Amino acid sequence: MALVKPFCAVRASRDKVALVSSRSYEAYSPAELGAQLDFNPFSFLHIISPSYKHHEEVSNEQRFQLIHDKYVEFKELKHFSKENTPTFYIYKKVTKNFSCCGIIAATSALDYANNIIKKHEDTLHKREILFEKYLKTTGFNAEPVLLTFPDNSIITDILKKYQNARAEYEFTTGNYKTHYLWRVDDQKDISIIQDEFAKMNAIYIADGHHRTASSYLLSKNMKSQNPSHNGNEDYNFFMSYLIPESNLQISEFNRLIKDLNGLTKLQFLEKLEAWFRIQNRGSELYKPSKKHHFSMYLDGEFYSLYLKKEEYEIDNPLSDLDPHLLYTTVLKPILGISDLRNDKRISYSHSEQGAIHLKNSVDSGKFKVAFGLFPISMEQLKKVADAGLTMPPKSTYILPKLRSGLTIYEF
């Protein structure tokens, strides 16, 4: 059974939220980041980049303390304040091509340890430790983990009911995305939501594996230091945005390779033929249309690669994934790329950049060959997680991407 609970969020007032909340720090170009920090004194980016104006070089520990101090300053300036009563928050995001609606809540770190909150990606222990130190020093988390659950008609009805009322927040950002937030503080609705999640045997991490693992590490460490620990302390939970599976959009990451590992074009194509039926598609932009089907751009031309199923054995959920299939048949044995995280010969581009990005990257001479993949399905993701397996790096590009500072969880 999945445990979710309402919490007292720290958040901006209605008139300032559009100025306070921000995209993830990494989503800004240097020019965009500079403009926000130079001209928007309310931006949450000032908190997570406190040394910007002074261009200081500081250690991680110093930076985390500066973030904490700036956060306290924002609270003192009344840029945001803390709720008085525990609340669930219904958050809806609408873009030109995509919309989602779900619940921002506190979720259990123990559920992660007990595999009720399931993962599909590996985490790096070094990053877990670093982010745990960040959480402990700053005392807050401002960007929720993205979790997904099977569509539930009772929860959907509650989401629809609140959307009929005026939103606590309603604002549109410069990238044409509209954001809505409703408070759920009615105890009956809170109980219904908790009861429905309690019936679920599993919910799944869509995005935020390191934040989840670090939150569990924090809870474990703080428990060991608290002789009065009872399990209800805020550090036992972390902020998540839970959306129905039908609201999740999974796209692909494509692969770009800098060389053919010493092979000529002809030799490379001959080795590919052991695994794929190959068809030259010419110079017209081309994308794969189904699972186990790849596009390839090489030497000014697109190719379609269809897996020869008699040559490839699918014996577990991982072997059914196209990123793993491409790795085991092409990237490792033919192109000599074993380490998908650290090998400098491989790069990745997400689906929003499109086939034209693959073509331009190869035509520029920066890369020799590019592979386009078909997106992994939600069902495939769940099968991998249920089997306790993990996907190769950059297997999924998942929407929605969430804002920082919309709601803040303190512990």
336 in the same domain as 298: yes
342 in the same domain as 358: yes
Residue 55's pLDDT is what? 64
151 in the same domain as 98: yes
CA 340 vs. chain centroid, Å, equals: 19
Query: Does any domain span residue 26?
Result: no
Q: Tell me the per-residue pLDDT of 21-47, one tens digit each, with 9 for 90 and over.
A: 999 888 888 898 889 999 999 999 999
Read off the CATH number of the domain in which 293 is found.
3.30.1760
Which token pair is 175? 């990238």
Confidence bin at 175 (pLDDT 50/70/90): confident
**Structural contact between residues 242 and 205, judged by C-beta atoms closer than 8 angstroms:** no
Percent of the chain at pLDDT > 70 equals: 99
Confidence bin at 12 (pLDDT 50/70/90): very high
136 in the same domain as 88: yes
Q: Tell me the per-residue pLDDT of 75-125, one tens digit each, with 9 for 90 and over.
A: 999 999 999 999 999 999 999 989 999 999 999 999 999 999 999 999 999
Residue 79's pLDDT is what? 94
Helix (H, G, I), strand (E, B) or coil at 22: strand
Mean pLDDT, all residues of the chain: 95
Q: 242 is in which domain, residue-wise?
A: 4-9+80-250+399-410
Which token pair is 261? 């590992």
Provide the domain count of the chain. Answer: 2
Q: Tell me the per-residue pLDDT of 197-218, one tens digit each, with 9 for 90 and over.
A: 999 999 999 999 999 999 999 9
Rounded mean pLDDT of 286-296?
96
Within 10 A of 273 (CB to CB), how many other CB atoms are there? 12
Q: Counting runs of H as helices and runs of E as strands, what totals does the chain give?
A: 13, 21
> Higher-confidence residue: 117 or 49?
117
State how far the Cα of 376 lies from the Cα of 250, in Å rounded to an integer: 7
Q: Tell me the per-residue pLDDT of 339-396, one tens digit each, with 9 for 90 and over.
A: 999 999 999 998 888 899 999 999 999 999 999 999 999 999 999 999 999 999 999 9
Residue 54's pLDDT is what? 58
Instruction: Single out the residue of 102, 104, 110, 111 nearest to residue 87, CA to CA.
Output: 104
The residues with which 100 forms a beta bridge, in sequence order, are 93
Q: Tell me the per-residue pLDDT of 217-242, one tens digit each, with 9 for 90 and over.
A: 999 999 999 999 999 999 999 999 99
pLDDT at 266 over 70: yes
193 in the same domain as 105: yes
